[in-house]
Structure 1
Amino acid sequence: MSHPMLSIVIPAYNESARIEAALERVMTCIDEQGWDAEVLVVDDGSKDDTGEIVQHWMESFPRLHLIRNPGNRGKGFSVRNGLLQAAGDIVMFTDADLSAPMEEANRLMAAIAAGADVAIGSRWMDRQRQTIHQPLYRQFFGRCFNFITRTVMGLPFKDTQCGFKAFRRPAAQVIFRLQSIERWGFDPEILFIARKLKYSIMEVPVTWGHDERSRMSYLKDGMKMLEEMGVIRYNSLAGRYDAAIAAMKDTSGMVTAPEPAVKNVVKLPSHLQ
């Protein structure tokens, strides 16, 4: 089978309450839009039956795959693990709550078709596209965190944390091999790396509906992300990214990455394939 045009990665941790609804919406969208797409759900060491639900759905959808992390490693690890094993020409990730409707992937793909190497969804470029607004305290903390991120990391984007991003596959293979942050703070790092590599990044407004079941704590996780930004800046000043990038250059000076060895995708029994 030829590789798909689009790979959709969904990180999932203890998502048994909403993964089935998410898969139904994603699969319906793929069918309605006529996308040539695969879906990879990355189970981040769930203690519930998230993985079993996905495996049940795999019986009906041959391009749905399950990847199991070696324990609970964090959203950043999950996204990296999925995208590095994705086969699509365009690879993207979205949160399991589908706060951005799956149809909005068309906006990311249009940005990449227009020349971007990386397309990032934004909740703040056009607030009229927010269907369900965050509580005021989450908006306040989110804006404060984004301001600090832009200042400390030198990132010129209105929304670095939106869990809806797409990449040309060659760019993703390089960016995510350089990623070191494995939990919530990975978004600024991958954008920082993409800018260091001079990839074209386009921010596009997307429809967004806040989900009250979000597990992120702006106080606890926000403080951790600030700490991780310090780690990113230190790694950059210490030349660690530059050294890793130099090690990935081929004889012509191009930064390239080898094709991934797919190791963690859960396969269906042969009689169900």
Structure 2
Amino acid sequence: MNTAMQTPAAATSQPPATNGHANASVTTISGDSIASSINAPAAVNASSIVERAGEPRDVDADIVIPVYNEQEQLAESVLRLMSHLASSQIEGWAYTWQIVIADNASTDDTWPIASRLAAQYPDRVRAVRIAAKGRGRALKLAWGESRAKTVAYMDVDLSTDIAQTGVLIGSLLYGGADVSFGCRLFDESQVVRSAKREFISRTYNGMLRVLLGAAFHDAQCGFKAMTAPAARHLLPYVQDNEWFFDTELLLLAQATNMRMYEFPVHWIEDPGTTVNIPDTVAKDLKGMWRMNGTLNRMRLATAA
């Protein structure tokens, strides 16, 4: 069995041992060390949200679905997720929730569909329209105005089995984790995807471990969540607004000794994905170079 990260000794509670993956102990670094190691915190400019349908609610979990030109599958995915969340609550793991559609600059009918869903299900769905593209930007803005105890996100294609949403959220609400996320690279994970995507993913995550000391195994699985305090602590310092956002978030969480719970998932690749792999790889490499400098400065700040 793979060993993920061990919960720090200072923690008084452990994330649920679903398939037995807890978090790696890392060096404690204060939030001040982040600030002194990054030129300037990345501002979350609320004015970048140009339209809203519905308002944030006081719930246990805001589950954000970032979308760009997803008119074909948005409604079906939201209704499917909503039905699962409404019917799958179990005693001891129950939580209140709201689905948040974060439309980042779609040019098709994605926003009208999102608005209609929010109007039809005002207690279950809200939507925000953002002026510029970028998954990281969408998550910063949607999470930044959340009033929930935890914030999460998943891809609109629901590639990760939504039956595991309870583990994603429950490990934060009931298990003592600060950050939780799915992993497609554990032996226990059940993954269906092309050999090309598998090779790229394993190579990228291997580079993160070797070059940046990542203790986690899968930086880019689109199935992540954080507590509200963790989000408030980390988001102002995450500079990337696109696909490297996930990696940067996890590296900063690890560097600041947050309790991280990584668990195996069932995941099926969407053959219609629109990710530009060469462009994403180039930006990821640039992000890794930048984060290497940031983490080195954080270590020096801690040692001083």
State if a TM-score over 0.5 links the two structures: yes
Question: Does 1:45 pair with 2:105?
Answer: yes
How many residues are aligned here?
A: 240
Match of 2:269 among 210, 213, 232: 210
CA contact (8 A) 1:236 1:242 kept: no
Which amino acid letter does the alignment assign opposite residue 77 of structure 1?
Answer: R
Match of 1:199 among 258, 268, 273: 258
> Tell me, which stretches of 5 or more residues in structure 1 are unaligned?
244-273
**What is the CA-CA distance between 1:241 and the residue it aligns to?**
12
What is the aligned partner in structure 1 of residue 59 from structure 2?
4
CA distance in 2: counterparts of 1:191 and 1:86, whole angstroms? 20
So what's the TM-score if we normalise by structure 1? 0.82
CA distance in 2: counterparts of 1:149 and 1:87, whole angstroms? 33
CA contact (8 A) 2:57 2:147 kept: no
CA distance in 1: counterparts of 2:106 and 2:82, whole angstroms? 22
Tell me: CA distance 1:213–1:50, structure 2 relative to 1, closer, same or farther (3 Å): same
RMSD of aligned alpha carbons: 2.1
What is the aligned partner in structure 2 of residue 189 from structure 1?
248
1:57-105 deviation digits (Å, cap 9, x = unpaired): 1122113111111222x11111111111222212101011110122211
CA distance in 2: counterparts of 1:186 and 1:97, whole angstroms? 19
1:192-239 deviation digits (Å, cap 9, x = unpaired): 111122110010111111111122233221121111111222234455
Question: Does 1:138 pair with 2:193?
Answer: no
CA distance in 1: counterparts of 2:299 and 2:127, whole angstroms? 32
So what's the TM-score if we normalise by structure 2? 0.74
1:161-203 deviation digits (Å, cap 9, x = unpaired): 1010111111111111211011111111101111122110010
Question: Does 1:124 pair with 2:185?
Answer: yes
Could you say what secondary structure the match of 2:226 adopts? Answer: strand
Tell me: CA distance 1:194–1:225, structure 2 relative to 1, closer, same or farther (3 Å): same
Could you say what secondary structure the match of 1:171 adopts? Answer: helix
CA contact (8 A) 1:99 1:211 kept: yes
Tell me: CA distance 1:11–1:2, structure 2 relative to 1, closer, same or farther (3 Å): closer
Tell me: CA distance 1:164–1:128, structure 2 relative to 1, closer, same or farther (3 Å): closer
Identity score, percent: 27
> Tell me, which stretches of 5 or more residues in structure 2 are unaligned?
1-55, 90-94
CA distance in 2: counterparts of 1:241 and 1:56, whole angstroms? 51
Match of 1:27 among 82, 96, 113: 82
Structure 1 runs (4+) deviating above 4 angstroms are: 238-243
What is the aligned partner in structure 2 of residue 70 from structure 1?
131
**What is the CA-CA distance between 1:240 and the residue it aligns to?**
12
CA distance in 2: counterparts of 1:242 and 1:8, whole angstroms? 35
CA distance in 2: counterparts of 1:42 and 1:211, whole angstroms? 20
What is the aligned partner in structure 2 of residue 115 from structure 1?
176
CA contact (8 A) 2:57 2:98 kept: no
What is the aligned partner in structure 2 of residue 271 from structure 1?
none
**What is the CA-CA distance between 1:26 and the residue it aligns to?**
1.3
CA distance in 2: counterparts of 1:123 and 1:32, whole angstroms? 26
**What is the CA-CA distance between 1:145 and the residue it aligns to?**
0.9
CA contact (8 A) 1:92 1:165 kept: yes
